């Protein structure tokens, strides 16, 4: 995967797609993604050459390289179909997912927090039973985040001073 406006240095990633998100991970064993892209923000998916395809969102483009042209074509077909289904169902679907298309009002709490192991503060949003992590407030506004934590299978513990553990 590579951001489309920079030099194309591809890094192998494990990619998962479901009805709500395209997420990529360092490996298939990782529980938390390095980045998530809401399917609702995908406006176009297109081939951009040998094994490569571009995922265009309202605010950013992502270029992926598959293992073969056939695999690339499968990804393009699947992503286009899912994005189209999502667009056609968008008016009737309500979901507690903060994205660029106006559902941020469903956020219960948001703001900056320090996360152990990260140098910079992250922008954190609690929406329904998920806690979303973003690099900054701008990424939150754009709807493209780092990862999210499913709190229906987690808990919160107070730690020393101003800290808590999820």
| 43-55 pLDDT, tens digit each | 999 999 899 999 9
Beta strands in 2-108 (DSSP E): 2-3, 14-17, 21-25, 35-38, 42-47, 52-57, 61-65
Fold classification of 14-89 is: PH-domain like (2.30.29)
| pLDDT of amino acid 93 | 43
Instruction: Sketch the domain layout of the chain as residue ranges.
Output: 14-89, 107-165
| pLDDT of amino acid 6 | 53
Beta strands in 13-159 (DSSP E): 14-17, 21-25, 35-38, 42-47, 52-57, 61-65, 109-113, 122-127, 130-134, 147-150, 157-158
Q: How many of the other CB atoms lie within 10 Å of CB of 21?
A: 20
- Enumerate residue ranges in the chain where pLDDT < 50: 92-96, 98, 102-103
Nearest in space to 85 (alpha carbons), one of 53, 130, 42: 42
Q: Across-strand partners of 86? A: none
Nearest in space to 150 (alpha carbons), one of 32, 30, 19: 32
């Amino acid at each position: 995967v590579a951001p489309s406006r920079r030099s194309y240095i591809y890094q192998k990633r494990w990619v998962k797609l479901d009805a709500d998100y395209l997420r990529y991970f360092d490996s298939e064993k990782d529980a938390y993604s390095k980045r998530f892209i809401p399917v609702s923000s995908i406006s176009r998916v297109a081939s951009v050459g040998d094994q490569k395809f571009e995922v265009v969102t309202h605010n950013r483009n992502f270029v992926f390289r598959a293992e073969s042209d056939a695999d690339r074509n499968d990804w393009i077909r699947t992503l286009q179909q899912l994005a189209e289904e999502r667009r056609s169902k968008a008016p009737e679907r309500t979901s507690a997912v903060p994205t660029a298309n106006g559902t941020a009002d469903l956020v219960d709490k948001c703001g900056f927090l320090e996360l152990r192991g990260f140098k910079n503060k992250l922008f954190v949003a609690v929406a329904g039973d998920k806690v979303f992590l973003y690099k900054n407030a701008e990424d939150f506004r754009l709807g493209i985040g780092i990862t999210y934590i499913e709190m229906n299978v987690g808990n919160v513990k107070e730690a020393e001073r101003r800290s808590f553990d999820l």
